Amino acid sequence: MAAGSTKPEPLPADTEARLTNFTELLATAIANAESRAQLARLAEEHAALRRVATLVARGAPPEDLFAAVTEEAGRLLGAGLAGMARFGSDDTVTVLATWAVEDEHGGAHPLVPGPWPLEGDDLASTIARTRRPVRIDTYEGVPGRIAAFVRDELGVGSSVGSPIVVEGRLWGALFLHTKQTQQPLPQDTESRLTGFTELVATAIANTQARAEVGRLAEEQAALRRVATLVAREASPAEVFSTVTEEMGRLLGAEIAAMIRLERGNTAIVVASWSEGDEADQVPVGTVVPLEGENVATMVLRTGRPARREHPELASGPVGELVRRLGVTSTVGTPIVVEGRLWGGMSVSSRQPEPLPTDTESRIADFAELVATAIANAEARTELTASRARIVAASDETRRRIERDLHDGIQQRLVSLSLELRLTESTASAELEGARRTISRVAGQLDGVTEELREIARGIHPAVLSEGGLGPALRTLARRSAIPIAFGGVVDQRLPEPIEVAAYYVVSEALTNATKHANASRVDIEAAARENSLQLSIRDDGVGGADPARGSGLVGLRDRVEALGGTIDVESPVDVGTTVVVALPLELEASARSSRLLG
């Protein structure tokens, strides 16, 4: 501030001091005005950040949040154009949101194609290299396709960009542009832009965390459903089918399959699933030659997870199948059962982007459950087969003993009895005492022979082998001390193990009814229904039978269950005892299960 005079005399001596008072007042006014402007700017900035923070807290959809942040930053920081972009894993950048001030481009940001390669010295490429805010005050001479588009198509003169870093990982960037070549964006633009990028990073981290929690919940639910099947000892076929579908749906695949390693460098499909047409499924039972270079051969050759993201490079029959189905990405994991490579499972996608990098580990969780199910099923199958072998060996021993008794000792006793009778009939009258002795011994010998015959019947009745279950049960009824009523007895021949098991169940039940139940009547039914023999023995005795106390029913349970059957005993006190047995007529069922397990 200055003061002058046109008068000949000089200004008063106190002019400086008085002028200082005015400059101080003016400085105070200017400072107040600048403070008010600064406060207004801060208020606007806080309001903008608060609006964005509210969207973040509400968990707004990403597209809404990105658009709002881009517009808020552009308006607040005086830009003509603004944009937000995300970096790709293939060294590209893709614009996700744009904004233009109303008087630029008709209020709409021009269409930005993409993705763009990260090359040159443009904002995106420089941020990707440095992970720091970047400023370009002039695009003259800046190389790269992005810089050329921004300069020539958008008419931008200067720009500022700030990285979006999510939990230490460079995710993307927020850009501001102005067409004013003579007036670049203010020097504090980078720091002010950081407030928005930090909010965006928080929102992305929250969204990813929610997605991860949701994904984990879905994964745990799927694994729990499979584990429940394994725990209740579902059939291998049901476990394989369920696991394959659960895995395919959870991992967002279009196709999933499970194979079992076979001899002769082949594998066989044991389960298959597809999201769409059933024609995309490889039929169960299909033999897969392990030839060429593809995920199946890689997994079963190395025993390790494998992935293939370029189907054109896959070879062999599996490679041809992959291309026919339009698969773009496949990930497979081995199934190892108690240290032995059993097979593998895989998921495939038709999408342009590859399956996520954690797909291998997520499949492995299912593979472990499958391995447990297979190990349990193999143990059950081996136990059942072992029990069946023991029962079969016992029955064979019984038959042999019965045959040896009938053809050996019993025949000799009969011959001795006949010789004694002959001796008795030819003895002279003077030997009357000897004749009576011979007669008595012959009678005792006949009794011993009959007792031996009864023992042989108990060991293994010949009528069962010769006539089948129906005649054998009727023979039991004739010899029973308790009246027997038949509600129907199967007459056709059944598999020998089934007939033997049914016979001994009825025999033991009759023995218990006679010795322990004080029964006056026993009702027996044996009928073939729905591929099983349904056997029912019901008495009107005192009841109270408990198989756990060591009755012969314990051994019968082992025999029945060894054949894949079930036995149920109900014995209420003073009501009687009912034994119900179901024996499968198709003994190949367990064999089919064994073949499925390999």
- Round to whole Å and give the CA distance between 238 and 167: 42
Indicate if 219-373 has the same CATH topology as 41-209: yes
Q: Which sequence spans correspond to the domains of the chain?
A: 41-209, 219-373, 463-598
Q: By the 8 A CB rule, do 534 and 525 touch? A: yes
Helix H or strand E segment including 178: strand 169-178
569 φ/ψ sector (left φ>0, alpha ψ -120 to 50, else beta): beta
Residues in the chain: 598
The predicted pLDDT at position 182 comes to: 74
Answering whether pTM is above 0.85, one says no
What single letter denotes the amino acid at residue 447?
G
- Residue 280: CB partners within 8 Å, gap ≥ 6? 254, 255, 274, 325
Which DSSP string corresponds to 577-593?
A: -EEEEEEES-THHHHHH
Q: What is Dmax (Cα atoms) for the chain? A: 198
Buried b (16+ CB within 10 A) or exposed e, 138-157: ebeebebebbebbbeebbbb
Within 10 Å of residue 318's Cβ, how many Cβ atoms?
25
**Residues 6+ away with beta carbon under 8 Å from 570:** 577, 578, 580
Report the C-alpha gap between 84 and 52 in whole angstroms: 14
Could you give the CA distance from residue 555 to residue 566 in angstroms, rounded to a whole number?
A: 13
Give burial (CB, 10 Å; 0-12/13-18/19+) of 414: middle
pLDDT in tens, the chain (598 residues): 777 778 788 888 878 877 787 777 777 766 665 555 555 555 565 666 677 677 767 777 888 888 888 888 888 888 889 999 999 888 899 999 999 887 665 556 677 877 899 988 999 999 999 999 999 999 988 999 999 999 988 889 999 999 999 888 999 999 999 987 777 888 888 988 888 888 888 878 777 666 666 766 777 788 788 778 777 777 788 888 888 998 888 888 999 999 999 888 899 999 999 987 777 788 888 898 999 999 999 999 999 999 998 888 888 888 888 888 889 999 999 999 888 899 999 999 998 888 988 899 989 988 888 888 887 777 666 666 666 666 666 666 666 666 666 666 767 777 777 877 787 777 777 777 787 888 888 777 776 776 666 565 556 566 787 888 998 898 888 888 899 999 888 888 898 888 888 988 898 888 888 888 889 999 999 998 888 999 999 999 998 887 666 556 677 787 788 788 899 999 898 889 999 999 998 754 444 444 445 5
* Helix axes of 496-515 and 469-479: crossing angle, nearest 10 degrees: 20
Amino acid 23: pLDDT: 79
Give the strand pairing for 266-274 and 255-262. Answer: antiparallel
Among 233, 231, 235, 228, smallest CA distance to 589 is for 235
* Cα angle value 299/304/309 (rounded, 5°): 60
Which amino acid does the sequence have at 567?
A: I
Exposed / middle / buried, residue 215 (Cβ in 10 Å: 0-12, 13-18, 19+): middle
Query: Domain 463-598 is in which class?
Result: alpha beta
Tell me which amino acid residue 180 is.
Answer: Q
Establish whether the linkage from the previous residue to 115 is cis, with ω within 30° of 0.
Answer: yes
Q: How far apart are the first and last CA of the chain?
A: 101
Q: What whole-number distance in Å separates Cα of residue 285 and Cα of residue 594?
A: 14
Superfamily of chain region 219-373: GAF domain (3.30.450.40)
- Degrees, nearest 5: CA angle 333-363-325: 75
Contact between 175 and 135 under an 8 Å Cβ cutoff? The reply is no
Task: CATH number for 41-209: choose from 3.30.565.10, 3.40.50.11540, 3.30.450.40, 3.90.1010.10.
Answer: 3.30.450.40
Half-sphere exposure of 196 (CA within 13 A, CB side): 33
182 half-sphere exposure, CB direction, 13 A CA radius: 0
Looking at residue 42, what is its pLDDT?
A: 52
Within 10 angstroms of residue 417's Cβ, the number of other Cβ atoms is 18
Tokens, residue 93: 């950048």
